[in-house]
Amino acid sequence: MSSVTTSKLIPYGVNGLGFDAVEFFSGMLPIAVNDSVALMRDKVRDLGLAISAAFVRGFTKDAAANRQLFEYGKLSGVPTLVGDPDPDSFESLDSLVREFDMRVAIHNHVPGHRYNKAIDVLRAIEKRDERIGACADIGHFIRSGERPVEVIRLLAGRLYGIHLKDFAEMQGNAKGVVLGKGHIDVPAFFEALGQAKFPANGALSLEYEETPADPLDAIRECVAAARAAMH
């Protein structure tokens, strides 16, 4: 569960945690265009959940390889592919997001990564199709010295995903903490998100990875903090 990115908080979820969607990455739902993907999509739907986004890691200048990722996204039924595009991939992505009417959201990573600051994402998407935007990993931005509320304001209008996790310190080796116990002002964060035109089908995904053997109590604390801020 700790490696599952789960999204869209609701009052009561079928799993007792208050979620109505799950965001997959390739280690959970292998990238392919075959019956196994369709079966997983239907199994998730039967559980009363949706797949909010798919993390597909990289995009390259290889247009055929990028197309396969979009076909995978289409079969999965997701509105957004999350990944780390190479600079020479954007011409291909511009064409594919229009053809498939599907978003690409750039995921920032650890300090020193090419997209580790919000401005790096904004520079990459400048003059690109509006369906190319950001999936803001708030925890990684914190580790890169970025303020969560400012990140949301900067990316407003092109923000299609959130990986919501908190860290105790604004440095690369910081320890993850329960939401609101680090550098996220949870009420201010959700107020900013509401002003940022975050789409109704955007992937708002909670991550907690500190206690993989038994994460549920901490996840419930995170959900409670988020729910209280949204009311």
Please list the rounded mean pLDDT of every run of 10 residues in the chain (231 residues): 39 63 87 92 91 94 97 96 98 98 96 96 97 98 97 98 96 94 97 94 94 91 93 76
pLDDT at 17: 83
Q: Give me the CATH number covering residue 138.
A: 3.20.20.150
Q: How many domains does the chain have?
A: 1
pLDDT at 163: 97
The H or E element containing residue 52 is strand 50-59
> What range defines the domain where residue 44 resides?
5-230
pLDDT at 44: 92
pLDDT at 12: 36
- Do the Cβ atoms of 210 and 167 come closer than 8 Å? no
pLDDT at 15: 53
Cα gap 18→22, rounded to integer Å: 11
What secondary structure does DSSP assign to 86-139, as a single string? -GGGHHHHHHHHHHHT-EEEEEP-STTSTT-SHHHHHHHHTTS-TTEEEEEEHH
Cα gap 34→17, rounded to integer Å: 31
Could you tell me which of 117, 195, 196 has the C-alpha nearest to residue 156?
A: 196
